[in-house]
Copies of this chain bind each other. A is one copy, B any other.
């Protein structure tokens, strides 16, 4: 596995691969990799000629009071994960190279960026869209792989790609979960053992709604009430939002439809976790 830190070197490798007619699969990450990331890399390995993963903790997607400074890092572990998953190139640009000046150029995806996660984290999706655009322009992937755990992020990126005619196929893959159902996330490392135990309630709430829906109870209000009741079983969890939305536009649903996305964000102590489930 080749490790590249220079943007120019990454670009040259991408150009060379494309000129040879080799397809590039790309997995952008913020590091502290877990099995969810590895599953994206393995899928890229299956379908693309060259697999590039990036690790870059993107400062402009964090708010001033968020966890940028304490975001977990494990470079040695991450290298091993990438290597084991069949990554060809690990791209780890430095922040001063990615943002040599105070950032003033942004990609914005209006509407969808301002609700749910975007309402709680103003500027977050602007930062995400911008860094993904930058990375796409450097890595020049044919396909880019994202985890469905970040459901709204996937929607924002899909819309960006379409809106700016980026020649990249966005592939969203299923969320990987711990044995108790907790969605894998780098931020799970923040949790104390007690918090970690309680965090399992998030997926239990999603599953409870799914069960209800399977029995034919599909009204969003009823499903939301059920989820709220399950989350409240665990003490010390604060719901940031809990919405049942249209899977495409992410507009909250007042009445049931065939396909619905359940989106939830909770705070446990200082940690903020998100999860989702697609009902189809």
Q: How far is the CA of A110 from the CA of B102 in the complex (A)?
A: 11
Is A255 positioned at the interface, with any CB of B under 8 Å from its CB? no
Which range holds the interface residue count of chain A?
20 to 34
Is A104 positioned at the interface, with any CB of B under 8 Å from its CB? yes
Contact A130 B167 (CB under 8 A): no
Q: How far is the CA of A109 from the CA of B162 in the complex (A)?
A: 20
Is A160 positioned at the interface, with any CB of B under 8 Å from its CB? yes
A251 CB, nearest partner CB in chain B, Å? 13
In residues 50-106 of chain A, which contact B (Cβ within 8 Å)?
A: 101, 103-106
Contact A137 B109 (CB under 8 A): no
- Residue of B101, B137, B165 near A165 (CB, 8 A) is B137
Contact A163 B103 (CB under 8 A): yes
Contact B134 A165 (CB under 8 A): yes
- Residue of B105, B111, B138, B167 near A107 (CB, 8 A) is B105
- Residue of B108, B130, B140, B167 near A164 (CB, 8 A) is B130
Is A19 positioned at the interface, with any CB of B under 8 Å from its CB? yes
Q: Which residues of B contact A13 (CB under 8 A)?
A: none
Q: Which residues of B contact A112 (CB under 8 A)?
A: 104
Contact B105 A11 (CB under 8 A): no
In residues 140-177 of chain A, which contact B (Cβ within 8 Å)?
A: 140, 159-160, 162-167
- Residue of B19, B21, B104, B159 near A109 (CB, 8 A) is B104
Nearest B residue to A108, CB-CB: B106
- Residue of B15, B21, B103, B164 near A133 (CB, 8 A) is B164
Nearest B residue to A135, CB-CB: B165
- Residue of B21, B105, B138 near A163 (CB, 8 A) is B105
Is A18 positioned at the interface, with any CB of B under 8 Å from its CB? yes
Is A7 positioned at the interface, with any CB of B under 8 Å from its CB? yes
Q: How far is the CA of A19 from the CA of B11 in the complex (A)?
A: 15
Residues in A lying within 8 Å of B, measured CB to CB: 7, 11, 15, 18-19, 21, 101, 103-112, 130, 133-134, 137-138, 140, 159-160, 162-167
